[in-house]
Structure 1
């Protein structure tokens, strides 16, 4: 596996919390693999105002990475990340607060994708929080060329209807690649079959709405038995394992 992108088509269905939850459980769901979460929302980072609100090192973040000369190496990418645990099994590449800061990042995303492929051979999978699709400065190359794209939706008409159009557009852009999947946060009584039909996808993944755990993520309070056994993390573990089934591990290229 290499690059998995999470995005949305409407409102705020919980892309950042979903990405954080998946990153948190990834090493347990994918034994022997590490994970790097790229904070790529051009509208403004939800991590910098939440989980990373305590601050990040000056030498970390997408803006620092973009200032380097292309092509970017895997080591450069990791060097601009923040480790979320002592063993760096979970890492995050911080994003930008102001949408204006996203403008200079456009040339970097393709180089980041290449570096992410190299990281995969080193046992690191990359998750991307791409925010809402359609933003002028979105990391488009990641959305179109990722190994898997998950469109995050809530289980209600106001979220599903615009998401169906986004799924159709992504299918057209990603011909020859894995079709987009739905990641439903709080199905609200709808069945997977109903959501699958409404969105036109073949795979529906799910997470639960868990306000307490989402708040803990926002506070950076990610410890304790209640957190580790929370409904959100249990659901995320199953979803991460299913993503691994959908996107088989890449075979390292040898010379």
Structure 2
């Protein structure tokens, strides 16, 4: 089980829509954490159309900080999404609350990584990079960091610097493959190959441009006909499969490297 953290370099490329869409099409239990520091929950105001009020949020987790960690507090704060395998930890209601979460990110990252023992994946909506209160420890702890971007020149210009920074951070920890580029609307106007050339990193997966289907997740709109077989939903399913496979390969490689190192140490002894 793994931790996937979604973020963006600028603008509104659809991080929250992608996070919820991936969670809703995930084949096994998944926890969706709304860690965007801008506040004003996009999930509650968008997908739930302001009709759902969670009894707890990330702020409550911050109040529950304890030396033993947050393992027991997270399930208590999470809200189950009816008819799905998704549970949600709602974010802050105002951007000013992000400052109260500064001390939360490190212990939260530790607890989220331990959730694999419960058979549960984690998807984190980290919002836009570089904002005050940004959950950087969650990015650092991710098995996969997904940089979501549109495919126009403005988006690529904004993503170029952050892509280089994130790649350097993951390379420094020996996990260069942890950074994934997710292109929203490939071919509008640039292709995955052109994006890879500009950002000097391959596009891991792409999401189809389908405003009506996306609005089901972003604004709680009624599902259009053939929604489940729409290009957007199919692209979310393919993206999830690709990301899970990529993380699994990386973990297998790390396990193999550790086993080889252990065998070499024993032979020298």
Tell me the TM-score normalized by structure 1: 0.89
Deviation, 1:12, is 0.6
Who is 1:30 aligned against? none
Deviation, 1:225, is 6.0
Who is 1:128 aligned against? 124
Who is 1:194 aligned against? 194
Q: What is the SS of the residue equivalent to 1:49?
A: helix
Range with greater deviation from structure 2 (141-150 or 71-80): 71-80
Who is 1:170 aligned against? 166
- The answer to whether residue 184 in structure 2 is matched with residue 185 in structure 1 is yes
Tell me how far apart the structure 2 counterparts of residues 82 and 231 of structure 1 sit (CA, whole Å).
29
Tell me how far apart the structure 2 counterparts of residues 180 and 69 of structure 1 sit (CA, whole Å).
29
Q: What is the SS of the residue equivalent to 1:107?
A: coil
Q: What is the SS of the residue equivalent to 1:92?
A: strand
Who is 2:105 aligned against? 109
Who is 2:144 aligned against? 148
- The answer on whether the counterparts of 2:64 and 2:70 sit within 8 Å (CA) in structure 1 is no
- The answer on whether the counterparts of 1:21 and 1:232 sit within 8 Å (CA) in structure 2 is no
Q: What is the SS of the residue equivalent to 1:85?
A: coil
Deviation, 1:179, is 4.0
- The answer on whether the counterparts of 2:212 and 2:224 sit within 8 Å (CA) in structure 1 is no
5+ unaligned residues in a row in structure 2: which ranges? 253-269
Deviation, 1:203, is 3.8
- The answer to whether residue 55 in structure 2 is matched with residue 78 in structure 1 is no
Deviation, 1:226, is 2.8
Who is 1:38 aligned against? 33
Who is 2:7 aligned against? 7
Q: What is the SS of the residue equivalent to 1:38?
A: strand
Tell me how far apart the structure 1 counterparts of residues 86 and 222 of structure 2 sit (CA, whole Å).
13
Structure exhibiting the larger radius of gyration computed from Cα positions: 2
Query: Which one scores higher on RCO, CA 8 angstroms, separation ≥ 6?
Result: 1
Q: For residues 222-242 of structure 1, what are the alpha-carbon distances to aligned partners after superposition, in whole Å with 9 as ceiling and x for unaligned?
A: 767633222211100000000
5+ unaligned residues in a row in structure 1: which ranges? 28-32
- The answer to whether residue 60 in structure 2 is matched with residue 64 in structure 1 is yes
Tell me the TM-score normalized by structure 2: 0.84
Who is 2:262 aligned against? none
Range with greater deviation from structure 2 (186-195 or 102-111): 186-195
Q: Which structure dedicates a bigger proportion of its chain to helix?
A: 2
Count of equivalent residues: 244
Q: For residues 14-68 of structure 1, what are the alpha-carbon distances to aligned partners after superposition, in whole Å with 9 as ceiling and x for unaligned?
A: 11111111111112xxxxx31111101001231122123212232x211111110
Who is 1:100 aligned against? 96
For the aligned residue pairs, the C-alpha RMSD in angstroms reads 2.0
